[in-house]
Chain A
């Protein structure tokens, strides 16, 4: 079964850092592009970042550029999102998703809640 499981979320103070992980199983992780998407409480989906299959290409939404870094370890079948200088507006559930056929995000993980508050 294809599965993505996020971890690493929690409560962090403004200005702090956090690293999310997304463990992949049931497919050849190293063959797929991956994305991070977030959803603030009661709000819509917002694209955050992407990384290609070997990690050589990354892209970020303007709102996180320079503060967040996406990476992957294909030997460990794990995707990461390192988040620095966190702000209250970064509070959200963070989902990782596999990319199929460029525009198809499937499947999605269950999400990891990040709360930025003092």
Chain B
């Protein structure tokens, strides 16, 4: 069960926008609108930022947005802030009643 592919790192200056990609297959990302994104600060539990491709839970900043095209999902963080520095993971439902996470992306605010 191979993980979804994410870039190892992405960086940006405060105020800029960055986009993290998450590439899977037609059996997961491309086949279902069940992609979610999680933010994890060091030593902390993950926190959901986006679910069902582009829905934002209550309390999550509207600077976070999600999208999907084919087998690739994306998370965009606009107006980058110091507090956004963290690891980000995508996740998708995969056929066979299983789930899969991405390899993770370290976001650095320069």
Contacts and interface: CB of A to CB of B under 8 A. Distances in A.
Contacts of A102: 34, 52, 93
Contacts of B1: 61-63
Interface of A is mostly: strand
B51 A104 contact: yes
B52 A44 contact: no
B57 interface: yes
Given A44-B104, A47-B99, A105-B38, 18 more contacts: A35-B99, A44-B3, A44-B102, A47-B91, A50-B97, A50-B98, A59-B96, A59-B98, A61-B1, A95-B45, A100-B51, A101-B51, A103-B34, A103-B93, A104-B48, A104-B52, A107-B47, A108-B45
Interface of A: 35, 37, 44-47, 50, 57, 59-63, 95, 100-111
Interface of B: 1, 3, 34-36, 38, 40, 45-48, 51-52, 55, 57, 89, 91-93, 96-104
